[in-house]
Amino acid sequence: MNKTAKAHGMDGGLVEPDWPPLTLGEVRALLAGFPGYGEPMKILSVSPRPFSAASVVATKSGDVFIKRHFRKVRDRDGLLEEHRFMQHLREQGAPVPRVLADALGETAIEIGGWTFEVHDVPPGVDLYEEAISWTPFRSTAHARSAGAALARLHLASQGYDAPQRKTQPLVAGFTIFAAEDPGAAMERYLAARSALTEDADAREGCREALELLEPFHAELRPLLPALKPLWTHNDLHASNLLWSDAGDDARAVAVIDFGLADRTNAVHDLAQAIERNIVEWLDLMEDSTHGEEVRMHIDHLEAMLDGYELVRPLTIEEAAALAPMTAICHAEFALTEADYFLSVLHSQEMAKVASIDYLVGHARWFRGAGGQRLLEAISRWAKKLGRHAVPLAGDED
């Protein structure tokens, strides 16, 4: 293993990676099946993202991006779900990477216990390469451009009618709080993931989160029929965008990393982008008793929403749904992370961070003063556009 390789930890620090970095030897064996790409010459980068091993690799025919997944996380069928969606987006003109096929026409290649994928490297600067989730944009211009990029992706996604993804770790779906009865939907979610069902912390986290998030679901429930199903990215952090240059006025020119993509809806995806970029959740990890002091970037929020609105205006119902959806959208990903830590890494300690600190901690924050300020800012933005506003749920003041 590359002794210098580090991955992003749950607390924002750098830790030893769970998966060994790619080596030139295994890259050489993989690319031998891809005609026209020649001999790999150098591994140019080692991604700090924690859930797989990934690198940009220089070959005699140009640079490629290679990702290696543990097969229990992404088998061939699970990875092809992402590739088919990306191909649809490319056919609609969206700036997403091209997934390369080997000599047999395969884009998801299983070798031993691993599943590999190879992408071209889109033009653009990887400006946020080292940024962890929950760190802010560098400027309001970046936030505005990210919002516009997400809106263009949603327009390109229209007409892609694949069903929701199969049950697997690390997919940010929207099923529990999309149901009339979230409690029953939560039981179905857990029943399909035995590691969660058997973990006491996960069960307790689910019980508490359902109670904390119930007022937001009550606000969202009557709006759900108006939220049209759509395949979405579900992880639009600044680090999953490539940029025109390194300046504060840079534009987002490509969208990458569709690992969390699934069939949800546009509001869910936009809420995920708010959750990923606007709130500095690591403040809450450092001191869970001072939620009102968690830093938020309301100027970035408004810029991102303005950028989105210029490309794809929200409907009245979508605008009304955005605030409660923002309070709810983290729940299913927190659970799928807990499932990953339990069923794949067998780490109860890390699973507890996901199910208690993330799932419950974030839900509790939205019920307090800090979360209410964020939701009020979202509703103010909608009202500014003349959109319908609904009373905020969960206000404990």
Q: Which fold has domain 7-120?
A: Phosphorylase Kinase; domain 1 (3.30.200)
pLDDT for 39: 80
Q: Nearest CA to 344 among 50, 111, 30?
A: 50
pLDDT for 131: 83
Element at 195 (helix H, strand E): helix 194-197
pLDDT for 60: 87
pLDDT for 4: 57
Mean pLDDT by 10 residues, the chain (397 residues): 51 71 94 86 90 94 95 98 98 98 97 96 93 88 98 98 96 96 98 96 97 98 97 96 97 97 98 96 81 91 98 95 97 97 96 96 96 96 71 47
Q: Which fold has domain 140-384?
A: Aminoglycoside 3'-phosphotransferase; Chain: A, domain 2 (3.90.1200)
Same fold, 7-120 and 140-384: no
- Name the residue ranges covered by the structural domains of the chain: 7-120, 140-384
pLDDT for 322: 97
The three state secondary structure string of the chain is CCCCCCEECCCCCEECCCCCCCCHHHHHHHHCCCCCCCCEEEECCCCCCCCCEEEEEEECCEEEEEEEEECCCCCHHHHHHHHHHHHHHHHCCCCCCCECCCCCCCCCEEECCEEEEEEECCCCECCCCCCCCCCCCCCHHHHHHHHHHHHHHHHHHCCCCCCCCCCCCCCCCCCCCCCCCHHHHHHHHHHCCHHHHCCHHHHHHHHHHHHHHHHHHHHHHHHHHHCCEEEECCCCCHHHEEECCCCCCCCEEEECCCCCCEEEEHHHHHHHHHHHHCECCHHHHHCCCCHHHCCECHHHHHHHHHHHHHHCCCCHHHHHHHHHHHHHCHHHHHHHHHHHHHHCCCCHHHHHHHHHHHHHHHHHHHHCHHHHHHHHHHHHHHHHCCCCCCCCCCCCC
pLDDT for 366: 97
